[in-house]
Structure 1
Amino acid sequence: MSRPVTWNDEDRRRFINDGVLIRRGLVHGDLVSQARDLVGGWLNEAYDPARLAAYTERSFAPELEEHPDLLALYRRSGLAELAGDLVSPATTAPVTRAQIQVRLPEGAHQPVKQMHVDGVSCPHLEPRDLRTFTFIIGVVLDGSATADAGALHYVPGGHHRMARYFATDWVLGQPAQTPDDIDAQDGIALTAEPGDVVVMHHLVPHRVGINTSSTPRVMAYFRVRHAQHLDLALRALSDPWLEYPALDALSRPKTV
């Protein structure tokens, strides 16, 4: 049975409305197990507790970000085709590295991530640095499928609010990443199992909380960029469909 490599019209409209798409069990078999074992081996052998804050802000297992077993999650699962379909007829830039995020079991004293959008006024960046992307794809590698087990929490439809915020109440270089009404939200938890996939518009605000389970929550993320993202990045903050030609047309109200 071949894997799906396109989104249907319902998916596209859901992405326009919610900014998030979820595919259950899309990545499976050796693709998941090999990536999970690779990260698990790193946690057992190379993890340095003194660097927990840095791992949380950037990536766990930074030495493995270009490892073939991690990149295979994107390149050999159908995700690359799905990514391309989302921005078609434009194209995506090559994805050359993975980001690993782990929420360790309670007791690790891991920093909690508040509501934010990635690459805009991040604590580990200079205030004027802008390191954004078009959308992110996350693959669950390990962990409990419960809301309080280090799950990603996101605000459905929050990309519309963030686009207005970036258009009217934000300037490049200011520390605040999200407005107060977004900060106050808990978000919807991605309750997912290994092999499940989430695709999330860059502008969707999200956070990650503590993990009260006994198992690390492990995610592999791939930041996908429109091929001309560097030229479009600043404008895309206030125009959520600038990098999605087909979705831009779908998102506009129909005229009679």
Structure 2
Amino acid sequence: MRSPLTWSDDERRRFVDDGVLIRRGLVHGNVLSRARDLVGGWLTEAYAPARLTAYTERSFAPELEEHPALLALYQRSGLAELAGDLLRPATPAPVTRAQIQIRLPYGAEQPVKRMHVDGVSCPHLEPSDLRTFTFIVGVVLDGSATADAGALHYAPGGHHRMARYFATDWVLGQSAQTPADIDAQDGTAFTAEPGDVVVMHHLVPHRVGINTSSTPRVMAYFRVHHAQHRDLALPALSDPWLEYPALASLAHPGTA
């Protein structure tokens, strides 16, 4: 029987094709409830409405990003092992902080995020800044499992299009994050329950819309970096498998 802390061959091929993997109910029990209660308490006691745009662009609860209860979502749920398995035989750098994203219920006038890839031409960064990573892991902490309740929307297979875009139509410092054909997409909604996990290649374009439900949609994200990502970041924008040694042969059969 395959270990639950590894990816099957079918999952690896799906990641090559779609750039996204989902594990339902991976995070549970005290690990999930402690993180959910921590963020819920912050939202009740420390949330500052005047900072809504800054929270949305970067992270809610920034003072909690290194809290052990949040890091446990990655370190004590099996996610750390799954991250290492996806990159083997390369290794990921240690994950030392979480990002919290909350889509507040309708009426909060929260900015809508259009299709983008993280860390490239972000409005809150200098144009020449590159804050990329290898892939992202998202854990649902709270919220309604419907497409219009602040769900993440992603473009399956969009990492292939984005790699071509970065190779041919983009230069470091330009403001456009995605080509027009990607920007026009609605994307596929990650409809999920608390404890469900999404793993998404950095180059998969994604967006988040408004939350029409009565419950905040709360996600904890962890950015995973190949141990040598600092040196590989720029070429990895146009070579999606540069940081995935075991997946390169699946993406380019016959070239190994």
Pairwise TM-score range, normalised by the shorter structure? over 0.9
- Matching of residues 72-151 of structure 1 within 5 Å: 72-151=72-151
Against the structure 1 CA distance between its residues 243 and 37, is the aligned structure 2 distance closer, same or farther, given a 3 Å change threshold?
same
Distance 2:3 2:29 in 1: 13
| 1:196-251 deviation line (CA, Å, top 9, x unaligned) | 00000000000000000000000000000000000000000000000000001111
Partner of residue 18, structure 1: 18
Partner of residue 206, structure 1: 206
- SS across alignment from 1:52: helix
Q: What is the percentage of aligned positions where both structures have the same residue? A: 85
CA shift at 1:134, angstroms?
0.0
- SS across alignment from 1:47: coil
C-alpha contact (below 8 Å) 1:114/1:183 kept by paired residues:
yes
CA shift at 1:3, angstroms?
7.0
Letter in 2 for 1:117: V
Distance 2:242 2:253 in 1: 16
C-alpha contact (below 8 Å) 1:65/1:99 kept by paired residues:
yes
- SS across alignment from 1:25: coil
Partner of residue 36, structure 2: 36
Distance 1:221 1:253 in 2: 32
Partner of residue 187, structure 1: 187
Partner of residue 173, structure 2: 173
- Matching of residues 41-56 of structure 1 within 5 Å: 41-56=41-56
- SS across alignment from 1:175: coil
| Unpaired runs of at least 5, structure 2 | none
Partner of residue 215, structure 1: 215
C-alpha contact (below 8 Å) 1:3/1:78 kept by paired residues:
no
Give the count of matched residue pairs: 254
| Unpaired runs of at least 5, structure 1 | none
Against the structure 1 CA distance between its residues 3 and 99, is the aligned structure 2 distance closer, same or farther, given a 3 Å change threshold?
farther
| 1:147-203 deviation line (CA, Å, top 9, x unaligned) | 000000000000000000000000000000000000000000000000000000000
Letter in 1 for 2:252: R
| 1:43-62 deviation line (CA, Å, top 9, x unaligned) | 00000000000000000000
Against the structure 1 CA distance between its residues 184 and 138, is the aligned structure 2 distance closer, same or farther, given a 3 Å change threshold?
same
CA shift at 1:253, angstroms?
2.9
TM-score normalised over the length of structure 1: 0.98
Distance 1:133 1:252 in 2: 22
- SS across alignment from 2:21: strand
- SS across alignment from 1:159: helix
Structure 1: which 4+ aligned runs deviate by more than 4 Å?
A: none
- SS across alignment from 2:136: strand
- SS across alignment from 1:129: coil
Letter in 1 for 2:63: E
Distance 1:188 1:250 in 2: 24
Residues 1:232 and 2:226 are matched in the alignment: no
Letter in 2 for 1:88: R
C-alpha contact (below 8 Å) 1:93/1:225 kept by paired residues:
yes
CA shift at 1:4, angstroms?
1.2
Distance 1:44 1:3 in 2: 39
C-alpha contact (below 8 Å) 1:6/1:85 kept by paired residues:
yes
Letter in 2 for 1:77: S
C-alpha contact (below 8 Å) 1:42/1:61 kept by paired residues:
yes
- SS across alignment from 2:32: helix
